[in-house]
Chain A
Amino acid sequence: MLKNYFKIALRNIYRHKGYSFINIAGLAIGMVCSILIMLWVIDEWNYDRFHANEAYLYRIVTEAHYTDETSHFAYTPAMLASALKEEMPEIKDACRLAMLRQRLMKHGQNSYYENGLGAADPSFFDMFTFPFIRGSPESAFPELHSIVITEALAIKYFGDKNPIGRHMQLDDLNLKVTGVIENIPQNSHIQFDALLPFELLISLGAPTHWGGHSYRTYVLLEPGASHHQINQTLPAWTEAHTPEPVIYYLQSLTDIHLHYDGAITYIYIFSVIAAFILIIACINFMNLSTARSATRAPEVGLRKVIGAGRTDLIRQFFGESMLLTIIAFIMAIILSELMLPAFNTLTGKQFSLSISNNIITLSGLVLIVLLTGIISGSYPAFFLSSFRPVRILRGTWKSGSAGLWFRRILVVVQFSLSIILIVGTIVVHNQIKYANNKSLGFNKEHLISIPIRGDLQQKYLSFKSELLQNRAIAGVTAGSGMPGGPIDGEWGQLDWEGKDPNLVTYMYHYSIDHNYIKTFGMKIIQGRDFSADISSDTLNFILNEAAVLATGLESPVGKRFTLLYRTGTIIGVAKDFHTFSMHHDIGPVILRMMPPENWRYIFVRLKPGFSNINSAVQFIENTWNRFLPEFPFEYSFLDENFSESYSNELRMGKILNYGTMMGVLIACLGIFGLVSYAAEQRTKEIGIRKVLGASVLHIVAMLTREIIMLGLIANLVAWPLAWYAMNRWLEDFAYRINLGWAPFVIAALLSVAVALMTVSYQSVKSALSDPVKTLRYE
């Protein structure tokens, strides 16, 4: 029986090559999209799940209560870990992790800046699963000056030599390599290239009081302990330990990436895109199968007459769609394999399709095949098997109208999904463009930031004057941070004239050189800018509008202000500028003029009209090399830093682009098949109409009218859904575009135009056909 079905299916595929091609190609493309997106989704879902203790690991999050708002961050005081472990019996183990700023690392001739430096307690390696290649978790940090490095870092500095026992220099520290661990999986929220003992950090003077929220704390619970219960006791516990307005709570390891970092949103979005494309492909399959039922009807009738029950037929048609699905699947696997490198570049991940890779991927793939086969096979199976044999055998069965309404509905669904994808693509594109182009309140173009190394702070003035020799350079300044980059924050040591003593607020601050505001192109709207000639300005402050609003001061200029034990006067108000991406509101920022040892970056403004940026950068590098020959030169452009904060959206935009193209392509394939089929069915009608004098235009209009109608209906269905979805997405941005009508109208025009183009070939072809030929066979 199976063999019989199989044979019929294969012969049918072969006999109707065009139809089979449309079906298989559509399904295969749909599957490729689903497979690739599934790889991404599984990878995201598996974030941080590779630790053996995964279920018992939690991160401590600080919930800080300011007067107007509550803020959550994963930084905690250094004392928290040991206090928790000692006082809470449910907590089996705890450790601290600090991420260090960039430092110069050296071994022999090899020296590089390393960003991935961290420091942790020895228990870190017991709690988390980072397997050792050399050394062991128990002997990770035998002495204060130890370092555990990843395999990649070991190769970078030591080549194929065994690094254990060898020494590395980290700035002025001399450290002995005591362990080599496997490279950190990409889907881990903890990322580092090397770890030092946390005790070393403390011996170097790291703050250990309860107010310094600088370190991450992780805890391992006893099996059976409930983190909900602990979270209920923690507020009281916190209050007993720290005077700060904070509460600590436990957050499960797997929640960090999905919920805290918001990956779940993109998992949903991408899953929906994949589902849309797959549904569009399945609809093609159903539509073409039912449209083609006229050809299959006699066979169905006949099989019933010679003894087939309905279940036999349902089984047969399911079998056929499964076979087509499997063929499409094999093609999809081959195509996915070919497209994997491009997809890896797009997502910045390293996916592979090898079966041994993991069982989830495999079962996911099987699920896709089964789902596609069942969804696309179900309607044809039940529809075709329900034919009454008498009507078919008698010839009273009309093929054209069978399932026509269902087919129309499916086409509308297909169109609607495509339109939603098109609207999504346009909106995402527009929002990214808006975010990149919106005025930030300063001029981010042609502004270079250079991290300060070595003793450059002492040589700053001569370095600056050398740079200014070049006529491409318009200005040079320095500061502790920059918009789109690092920024300091403070809630404790803040005071001003007339401050409500109960008010707890959080403000950001930069320590800057006197010409920072001018060089960045920020505007002073009240008072004055800092001046190098007024020595008392080192105690004075400039606030941005948001900060003024936070203080509640009516006329801030001239008021007393205190930040971190330094009291001075507010001398000016700066117009608001964006310190973060468009996801966030403009924060309250305090600017203060501070001496060079507080600076971490030098900023160079290039002249706007100067076109040869490369030679200017080259000039800066040459100057750097004369001043600091032992330190490599590094720089970045501020506008690029800002663009990087939209990498999630950019990636989504790209995937949406491709997804939409694929979805629309598949839908077009399907509509092409349907119209070809309809034209074939109506050959006789077209012939008669032509004999009766219908013009070519008339016939083309007749054949295309329905598709246009369906397209318009689909727009009405899709618009509210797209509107709702895109509004939800835009809510993530504090600064966002208005949806407006443009994306919808563009999507409507585009969808109908593409459909028309698809349909026109067949319609014109049949409209031009010779009626004598088409009618002769009747």
Chain B
Amino acid sequence: MIKLKGISKWYKTGFSNTYVLRRINIDVEEGEFITIMGPSGAGKSTLLHIIGMLDTASEGEYYFLDSEVHKLNEKKRSAIYKENLGFVFQSYHLIDELTVYENLETPLLYKKVKSGKRKSMVCDILDRFQIVGKKDLFPGQLSGGQQQLVGVARAIISTPRLLLADEPTGNLHSEQGKEIMDIFKKLNGEGTTIIQVTHSEVNASYSRRIIKLFDGWIKD
């Protein structure tokens, strides 16, 4: 599904380049559940952002399904992205001015889903995550765990083939974290490919493959 060939990322600092990622090669099959681990500053989030097409590599090739992502312009990238990807963040990143229901609805709006279908999709996901009662509340009125639940719900509402999660449980206590991870496992079981970045060994144990990063290099 994903093929990274020789991906490097650097930033210019003065006269030299500061490398964040160095010649990364990764293959991801459809249906995998992968964890990227490593110490702070190892380049985990950058790698995730490049896979998630939020960022571009300085060098290397990136194939997603049949597309050569490194050759596409922003518009085409965002089209692929919109169809196939979902993102979950450490800090929940909901739109404060919108209710839970509206937050869930927004990605569907951008995908131009018809109003009737939109309604049933939002209701389905509310049901599935058991947050129907919270649908008219604003993010500020929810606990951290509940917000992240909404964040995950929003990421998967349009059934993406690939779910990317950046420390999804980082700001949650262990019980809430477990709840999120159980959902990930269930989603993976239903066929969604998942790549997560985490520090937590417990979370990593949910996945089937672990990629360790150190100073931008993949450590085997």
Chain A interfacial positions (CB closer than 8 Å to B): 1, 4, 7-8, 11-12, 15, 298-299, 301-309, 312, 389-390, 393-394
What B residues does A394 contact at CB under 8 A?
A: 45, 49
What A residues does B98 contact at CB under 8 A?
A: 4, 7-8, 11
- B97 & A305 in contact (Cβ 8 Å cutoff): no
Interface string of B93-136 (1 = CB under 8 A from A): 11111100010011101110000000000000000000000000
Known A7-B102, A303-B95; 4 more pairs at CB < 8 Å:
A4-B102, A306-B106, A393-B54, A393-B89
Of the A-B pairs whose beta carbons lie under 8 Å apart in the complex, a sample of 21, sorted by A's number, is A4-B106, A7-B97, A7-B98, A11-B97, A11-B98, A12-B97, A298-B93, A299-B97, A302-B93, A302-B95, A305-B54, A305-B87, A305-B93, A306-B87, A306-B110, A306-B154, A307-B81, A312-B110, A390-B54, A394-B45, A394-B49
Chain B 3-59 interface residues, beta-carbon cutoff 8 Å to A = 45, 49, 54-55
What B residues does A389 contact at CB under 8 A?
A: 54
Question: In the complex, what distance in Å separates the CA atom of A393 from the CA atom of B55?
Answer: 11
User: Min CB distance, B152 to chain A, in Å?
Assistant: 12
User: Min CB distance, A480 to chain B, in Å?
Assistant: 78
Which 6 pairs across A and B sit closest by C-beta, in order of nearness? A307-B110, A11-B97, A306-B107, A307-B82, A390-B55, A390-B54
Chain B 170-210 interface residues, beta-carbon cutoff 8 Å to A = none
Residue in B94, B96, B110 whose CB lies within 8 Å of A309: B110
Chain B 71-96 interface residues, beta-carbon cutoff 8 Å to A = 75, 78, 81-82, 87, 89, 93-96
- B109 & A1 in contact (Cβ 8 Å cutoff): yes
Question: In the complex, what distance in Å separates the CA atom of A80 from the CA atom of B111?
Answer: 77
Question: In the complex, what distance in Å separates the CA atom of A621 from the CA atom of B192?
Answer: 104
Known: A1-B109, A309-B75. A393 touches B93 (CB 8 A): yes
- A4 & B109 in contact (Cβ 8 Å cutoff): yes
What A residues does B110 contact at CB under 8 A?
A: 303, 306-309, 312
Question: In the complex, what distance in Å separates the CA atom of A405 from the CA atom of B133?
Answer: 47
Of A299, A303, A305, A390, most B-chain CB atoms within 10 Å:
A305
Q: Which residue on A lies nearest to B109, using beta carbons?
A: A1
What A residues does B82 contact at CB under 8 A?
A: 307
Chain B interfacial positions (CB closer than 8 Å to A): 45, 49, 54-55, 75, 78, 81-82, 87, 89, 93-98, 102, 105-107, 109-111, 154-155
Question: In the complex, what distance in Å separates the CA atom of A219 from the CA atom of B203?
Answer: 95
Q: Which residue on A lies nearest to B98, using beta carbons?
A: A8
What A residues does B155 contact at CB under 8 A?
A: 306
Question: In the complex, what distance in Å separates the CA atom of A299 from the CA atom of B102?
Answer: 14
Q: Which residue on B lies nearest to A14, using beta carbons?
A: B97
Question: In the complex, what distance in Å separates the CA atom of A307 from the CA atom of B52?
Answer: 12
Q: Which residue on A lies nearest to B112, using beta carbons?
A: A1
User: Min CB distance, B136 to chain A, in Å?
Assistant: 12
Question: In the complex, what distance in Å separates the CA atom of A7 from the CA atom of B96?
Answer: 12
What A residues does B111 contact at CB under 8 A?
A: 307
- A303 & B106 in contact (Cβ 8 Å cutoff): yes
Q: Which residue on A lies nearest to B97, using beta carbons?
A: A11
Q: Which residue on B lies nearest to A312, using beta carbons?
A: B110
Question: In the complex, what distance in Å separates the CA atom of A261 from the CA atom of B98?
Answer: 59
What B residues does A298 contact at CB under 8 A?
A: 93
Question: In the complex, what distance in Å separates the CA atom of A569 from the CA atom of B110?
Answer: 96
What A residues does B93 contact at CB under 8 A?
A: 298, 301-302, 305, 393
Q: Which residue on B lies nearest to A311, using beta carbons?
A: B75
What B residues does A303 contact at CB under 8 A?
A: 95, 106, 110
Residue in A299, A390, A393 whose CB lies within 8 Å of B95: A299
Q: Which residue on A lies nearest to B50, using beta carbons?
A: A390
Question: In the complex, what distance in Å separates the CA atom of A488 from the CA atom of B165?
Answer: 95
What A residues does B87 contact at CB under 8 A?
A: 305-306
Of B94, B96, B155, most A-chain CB atoms within 10 Å:
B96
Of A4, A15, A312, most B-chain CB atoms within 10 Å:
A4
- B107 & A8 in contact (Cβ 8 Å cutoff): no
Question: In the complex, what distance in Å separates the CA atom of A336 from the CA atom of B190?
Answer: 63
User: Min CB distance, B96 to chain A, in Å?
Assistant: 8
